[in-house]
Structure 1
């Protein structure tokens, strides 16, 4: 199949059938034999169109007689694919992109061939006259300009300003369309970080220690391993797992100790659960719970591969209180379900799919999970509450409500004296996470 047609099908499933980009792409790559250059083009187009969708639609609007939301879905996606290539991929001549797009339309939506050809040629003429660069100086509202150029819905731009302040938000927002570092966590139950770095270097992969976590390694120039890292013997033998440093920091901040009884309330897919075990030297007990049995299977697979034997898995809705667990855990990790606004780089469709109703429902779920966590905690025990979002309603505001309801709780400040810790891509390229450590 033509790579642009495959990208079109994938984008249609993500944008209109609410498929997850990472799962959809993984399925395509595993189900098709592709040359390396075709694989790169496919990934470039799919992620590029998702990351830049608002900007691409803005360009269509400037050059089309019809609004984007009135176009047939296949037509709008064909235009997005073409415009992304014209603006962001320098190796493909514009005339070739136009011809490919018209040919694709001929197979998918033949009545739109002339319209697509006309819009794309208008865009090329405008580029020849004015260039490709987005002119921020022409905008009176800097937040609107950032929203369009970096394809971040305006309400999310406001959230970043609210959380990080103007200067930091304006530095982070352009990074939301950048590829995040490929970061792994060394499993020191089996190998040291230095020894694992040496093993990767023997494979011709540049391995650089992460700056935030003692177990983090950034992998560069992966080459043939770029999309098959899980097929390497190092992975299969459990020497590492793929995890961002922000996720590692949440577990490190909780600081579980060997011999303790620790609960992970939302365990799947198991990255943090297995790190709890790792930091406990596989001693004591980790109880990993999740509501979905299929996702618990992922945790089980990770446990076996990483040789984490002190983990017990339970299919359990964290919102349902269990009286038997009252004051029975030394430490609790609650990495709560959230809007995911801090991992937009990895799942760019998140920024388009979030709804106000969905956000309100998540806040209710988080409140219930936090209340249950407090009741499960032993006196003098600790809870680490974390999210991968920057929405204060899911973060600081949740903690403030909890403290009012449970005055026996107190916040333990981080090493910088902050009650609330935020990470961001400005910190060694990691995701934007929120975390707060509470003591009973």
Structure 2
């Protein structure tokens, strides 16, 4: 199958069937053989089209009188893919993108070939005029940011509320940029300098992370990026692919060798294994999740990294366990959330997360926090974290805990408020929220 047609079909599965882009692209690349150049193009088109969907529709509306929502989904997706290539991929000749789109239409929607050809030819004729986005033509700067960076207005408001206008306007354009490829060195097996040398021998460029001593940003990746799990350094357990913001959560908890630690929502295990690493494979880490398949991921990762102090348990954190009352020295609650802080990695979240879903997540977070407070020993530490910028899931959850449990206190981790927020402005991090709570003795 032609690579652009494959991209269109993936986007249709994401848009119509609710498939997750990261899982769908992994499946496609696992089941099909494509040259490295074509693999890169496929991923570029899929993620680029998702990240810029509102802006691509804005451009299309200039040349299509019909309501875009009334177009056949196949036709609309073919047009989006073509316009993305025309405006964002300089190395692809515009005529090639048009011709290929007409051919894809011949396979998926033969009767629409003429319409698609006509729309795209008209877009080519007006490209010079259309490609300059005039922010000043909008009376509302949030609406302008929403269209240009394809982020729904309500999410733009959340970023303003969390970071303030100045920082939000710096962060929002970065949400469509490719995040850094960051790894956490597994210091149980190798030190950072030695691993850096081994990666450099493969032609990979390494830059030490500014926020965590075990972090390395990698570039000049070539085939390594899409086939990292086959690399001998990975299979030997020398590193984990992980964002620095995620590393910060385990560091903030500060587990010690003697501790009994609970990771309440542990899968797929990045933070769990980091806790074990910080504990130098001593003490005990109890890792919980509700799905066997996800617990297996933790076990496989722990085995690869040489970790022996993790016990996995299939447990629903929303169901209270009397036997866990005051049983843990430290607890990490990486709560399920709306994911608005990781839309660089999962761009479809911006279009699919609903108000009802957010309300249900807030209810679950509340239950998990209530149980975490009761599971914590007197004098113990609880770190609550999410990968969202929604204050209802972040600060307001912590404020409620402090109000309802007077024996819980907040530990200052940021000058900006009740918790710490990371962002792409912080050495390329995703947007995480984390707060550190102590239980009085």
Taking structure 1 as the reference length, the TM-score comes to 0.98
Q: Give the match's secondary structure for 2:379.
A: strand
Q: Partner residue of 1:363?
A: 362
C-alpha distance in structure 1 between counterparts of 2:186 and 2:232, whole Å: 14
Deviations 1:219-245 (A, max 9, x none): 110112121111111111111010000
* Unmatched runs of 5 consecutive residues or more in structure 1: none
Q: Partner residue of 2:339?
A: 340
C-alpha distance in structure 2 between counterparts of 1:223 and 1:37, whole Å: 10
- Contact kept, 8 Å, 2:414 with 2:420, in 1: the verdict is no
Do residues 119 (structure 1) and 102 (structure 2) align?
Answer: no
Q: Partner residue of 1:275?
A: 274
C-alpha distance in structure 1 between counterparts of 2:366 and 2:223, whole Å: 45
1:177 CA displacement: 0.3
Do residues 203 (structure 1) and 202 (structure 2) align?
Answer: yes
Do residues 175 (structure 1) and 174 (structure 2) align?
Answer: yes
- Contact kept, 8 Å, 2:82 with 2:101, in 1: the verdict is yes
Q: Partner residue of 1:303?
A: 302
Deviations 1:29-52 (A, max 9, x none): 111111122111111110110000
1:427 CA displacement: 0.4
Q: Partner residue of 1:62?
A: 62
**Structural mapping, 1:11-22, within 5 Å:** 11-22=11-22
Larger displacement relative to structure 2 (117-126 or 62-71): 117-126
Q: Partner residue of 1:216?
A: 215
- Structure 1 segments of 4 or more deviating over 2 A? 415-419
1:198 CA displacement: 1.0
1:68 CA displacement: 1.2
Larger displacement relative to structure 2 (199-208 or 389-398): 199-208
C-alpha distance in structure 2 between counterparts of 1:224 and 1:55, whole Å: 30
1:187 CA displacement: 0.5
**Structural mapping, 1:401-416, within 5 Å:** 401-414=400-413, 416=415
CA-atom RMSD in angstroms: 1.0
1:439 CA displacement: 0.3
* Unmatched runs of 5 consecutive residues or more in structure 2: none
1:18 CA displacement: 0.8
Q: Partner residue of 2:94?
A: 94
Q: Partner residue of 2:288?
A: 289
Q: Partner residue of 1:235?
A: 234
Q: CA 1:417–1:380 in structure 2 vs 1: closer, same or farther (change >3 Å)?
A: farther
Do residues 388 (structure 1) and 398 (structure 2) align?
Answer: no
C-alpha distance in structure 2 between counterparts of 1:122 and 1:415, whole Å: 52
Q: Partner residue of 1:79?
A: 79
C-alpha distance in structure 2 between counterparts of 1:213 and 1:93, whole Å: 42
Q: Partner residue of 1:23?
A: 23
C-alpha distance in structure 2 between counterparts of 1:207 and 1:228, whole Å: 18
**Number of matched pairs:** 439
C-alpha distance in structure 2 between counterparts of 1:192 and 1:104, whole Å: 50
